[in-house]
Chains A and B, each alone.
Chain A
Amino acid sequence: MERILERGGMDALVPAVVLVALAFAMVVIAFGMESVAPGVHDALHDFRHVIGMPCH
Chain B
Amino acid sequence: MLSIKDSLKTGALAGVLWGWLCYLANYFSGIFPFESSFTQNLLSFTFGGAVFGIVTAGLLAVLGGFLPFRRMVFKAVFISVTLWLALKFAGDILSIMEPERFHMVMPQAVQGILLALALGAILGLLLGRGRQAAAGNA
Q: Chain A residues in contact with chain B, CB under 8 A?
A: 11-12, 15-16, 18-19, 22-23, 25-27, 29-31, 43-56
A54 engages B22 (CB within 8 Å): no
Does chain A have a CB within 8 A of B58? yes
Residues of A contacting B91 with CB < 8 Å? Answer: 30-31, 53-54
Interface size, B (range)? 35 or more
A30 contact from B23, B34, B62, B87, Cβ within 8 A: B87
With contacts A51-B112, A52-B110 taken as known, whether A31 is within 8 angstroms of B90 at the C-beta atoms is: yes
Nearest-Cβ distance from residue B93 to partner chain A, whole angstroms: 10
B103 contact from A11, A30, A43, A55, Cβ within 8 A: A55
Per the bound structure, the CA–CA distance linking A54 and B112 in Å amounts to: 11
Binds A, one of B45-53, B69-77, B127-135: B45-53
Residues of B contacting A12 with CB < 8 Å? Answer: 4
